[in-house]
Amino acid sequence: MWLDKLPPLAPHQVHRRQASKLSRSINVAKAISRVTNPCFLSVVVLVLIAYTNSTEIWSTVSHVAVIALGLVLLPISYVLIRMARRGSRAERLGDLVDFLKEHPKDVGALGIVFGLPCTVLLVFLDAPSFLIATLTSLLICSLLIALVRELYKVSYHLAGITCLIIMVAVIWEPLLAATAVSIPMIVWARYLLREHTLGQMVTGSVLGVIVTVIVLYGFGLW
């Protein structure tokens, strides 16, 4: 299938000027891929939603604390322990993401062990509906992709980003254009880096749309 064809990367076979241009493009693609990583952006978006939708300072602090504990501190500790048991260590933050990328089952485990209790706790604390809906969408996407990846390498990067863009567009409509333009850039970056085929990225993005829309309808927020 033409969507599943990866671009050939052979700088040594092209002209020196073309090789230099390709090298610069790869560096730009790496920067885009890192900046738009859904593992990091999801925390940023969730904190912004908690800040803008909470009515009291105490509510904002408690919701952000739950997000920080359940989606940052505990998952990072879990990954560090797993890496230590495998004889590897994290010298930079990107090593944690690379570990999860190499072990997709851990994404589903993190969702169940930390994401689900975090969501339940936010419900108990009467967190804003948009906050719970966003976290629920991301959680469902991670669980589904962890299962699907046994058969097909679906792009969680595109699924997560698509989910976040839809949520941002629903909550803050003026940001729709600015966030939507990031999808073509991410597709180009991930394709150039040979992280995913076009088919895998399209599948991830479509999955993100379906899950997010269903969750929004379920919460009565669409």
Rg of the chain's alpha carbons, rounded to an integer?
Answer: 18
Lowest-confidence segment of 10-14, 109-113, 124-128, 152-156 by average pLDDT? 10-14
What is the token pair recorded at 4?
Answer: 């599943």
pLDDT value at residue 132: 95
pLDDT value at residue 36: 87
Please compute the mean of the pLDDT values over residues 74-98 and round it to a whole number: 72
Q: Would you give the end-to-end CA distance of the chain in angstroms?
A: 35
Please compute the mean of the pLDDT values over residues 95-120 and round it to a whole number: 75
- In one letter, which amino acid is 126? D
Nearest to 65 by CA among 7, 137, 122, 2: 122
List C-alpha distances in Å: 39 to 182, 196, 207.
16, 17, 17
| 113 phi, psi to nearest 5 deg | -70, -40
pLDDT value at residue 133: 96
Out of 18-27, 57-66, 150-159, the most confident range is 57-66
- In one letter, which amino acid is 92? R
Cα 189 from chain centroid (whole Å): 15
pLDDT value at residue 217: 94
Task: Output 13 or 217, whichever has higher pLDDT.
Answer: 217
9: pLDDT confidence band, cut at 50, 70 and 90? low
pLDDT value at residue 187: 92
Please compute the mean of the pLDDT values over residues 142-168 and round it to a whole number: 87
Lowest-confidence segment of 14-18, 89-93, 115-119 by average pLDDT? 14-18
Contact criterion met (CB below 8 Å) for 164 and 211:
no
160: pLDDT confidence band, cut at 50, 70 and 90? very high
Q: What is the reported pTM? A: 0.82
- Please state the length of the chain: 222
% of the chain at pLDDT higher than 70: 80
Lowest-confidence segment of 72-81, 91-100, 209-218 by average pLDDT? 91-100
Please compute the mean of the pLDDT values over residues 27-40 and round it to a whole number: 86
